[in-house]
Structure 1
Amino acid sequence: MLMLLFYVGDDRYALDSRRVVEVVPIVTLKKFHSAPEYIPGLFNYRGHLVPVIDLCQMIQGTPARAYLSTRIVLVNCQLPDTSEANSHSLHSPLILGLMAERVTETLDKPETEFVSPGIKVDTIPYLGEMIADDRGMIQFVRVEHLLPESQTTYLLPQQEE
């Protein structure tokens, strides 16, 4: 699997490159005041408003630093439909922006090399399996589990009645 690597502090993380739409430089975001701290705002991407999640803020509690290599990774994310009528279906794909530091490299490794970290924390379901290389450990980020159900209302288009 080809993965896009990024850093949160000194720790490395990976995204499945099949979900990546585009990697763009940091842009000015429109603050969304009622959103959680890890959603710093929205920006216009090719005519669509795209919410941005700061992965540094989400994972370690501090905002991404303004490095030249800090980027917004646009990913396709399919959020679960939490309405009672559609409890087992998915919303149509949504593009999310993921702000991360040091987005400069990829890594291609077989999925069979990933191992479970041995610890499951229910409050961080987006952190998945791990893989090692000659520079240390890399943790996989599961895009579809980034947001708790209670937060998806910030990101989904409102249905007209």
Structure 2
Amino acid sequence: MSEVMEEQDFIASGQQEFLTFTLGEEEYAIDILKVQEIRGYDGVTRIANTPDYIKGVINMRGVIVPVVDMRLKFHVGEATYNQFTVMIILNLGARVVGMVVDGVSDVVALNAEQIRPAPEFGAALDTQYIKGLVSMEERMVIVVDIERLMTSQEMGLVDAVASA
């Protein structure tokens, strides 16, 4: 009973929970409601003629799941795979997508007022997938609109891979 009450208080307070993860030296956050599960990085089946950031597909309990390496997608250095590499499985409506990151940090609750708009960089940097920036203690966290990114036109190849 108290758990339900706490959840209602949380929603009424206007807070939202985000899962934070790292890519290189940077920290990112995504809406936790989009996260289905977190698992270690497994080998993937490579699909020919896909961009380098689409690592391939995995079979997860009978569902073919495309896997995107976010380090390659965001151009954050070379992708290395070790025992700390993590795959976040996202549930985006009718689509399940795997997202490879360096590590998962924490779950944080944020108010809308804490998220500052991303600065405009002109054509040099595409910020349409960034909800904003949050200053937390000594670090800056980039809040990503993961559903907008994964369902974008440029990621349309994910649909093609998933139906292959």
TM-score under structure 2 normalisation? 0.78
Identity of aligned residues (%): 20
CA contact (8 A) 1:64 1:70 kept: no
CA contact (8 A) 1:23 1:71 kept: yes
CA contact (8 A) 2:19 2:107 kept: yes
Structure 1, gaps ≥5 residues long: 79-92
Larger Rg: 2
Find the partner of 2:132 among 129, 133, 151.
Answer: 129
- Residue type matched to 1:155 in 2? D
Report the counterpart of residue 155 of structure 1 in structure 2. Answer: 159
CA contact (8 A) 1:51 1:97 kept: yes
- 1:115-160 superposed Cα distances (whole Å, 9 cap, x missing partner): 10221666452222111111311001111222441431442565xx
Q: Quote the Cα distance in structure 1 between the aligned partners of 2:82 and 2:131.
A: 26
User: 1:77 deviation in Å?
Assistant: 2.0
Report the counterpart of residue 145 of structure 1 in structure 2. Answer: 148
Please report the RMSD computed on the Cα atoms of aligned residues, expressed in angstroms.
2.0
Mapping 1:96-107, distance limit 5 Å: 96-107=97-108
Structure 1 range deviating more: 17-26 or 125-134: 125-134
User: 1:103 deviation in Å?
Assistant: 1.1
User: 1:68 deviation in Å?
Assistant: 2.8
TM-score under structure 1 normalisation? 0.79
Q: Quote the Cα distance in structure 1 between the aligned partners of 2:137 and 2:118.
A: 18
Aligned length: 144
User: 1:48 deviation in Å?
Assistant: 0.5
Report the counterpart of residue 33 of structure 1 in structure 2. Answer: 48
- Residue type matched to 2:111 in 1? P
CA contact (8 A) 1:64 1:100 kept: no
Query: Per the alignment, in what secondary structure is the counterpart of residue 22 of structure 1?
Result: strand
- Residue type matched to 1:38 in 2? Y
Mapping 1:49-60, distance limit 5 Å: 49-60=64-75
Query: Per the alignment, in what secondary structure is the counterpart of residue 81 of structure 2?
Result: coil
CA contact (8 A) 1:127 1:139 kept: yes
- 1:70-116 superposed Cα distances (whole Å, 9 cap, x missing partner): 211011224xxxxxxxxxxxxxx201111001213222221221010
Find the partner of 1:9 among 18, 24, 35.
Answer: 24
Structure 2, gaps ≥5 residues long: 1-15
Matched, 1:94 2:95: yes
Query: Per the alignment, in what secondary structure is the counterpart of residue 155 of structure 1?
Result: helix
CA contact (8 A) 1:3 1:108 kept: yes
Task: Return the structure number with greater helix share.
Answer: 2
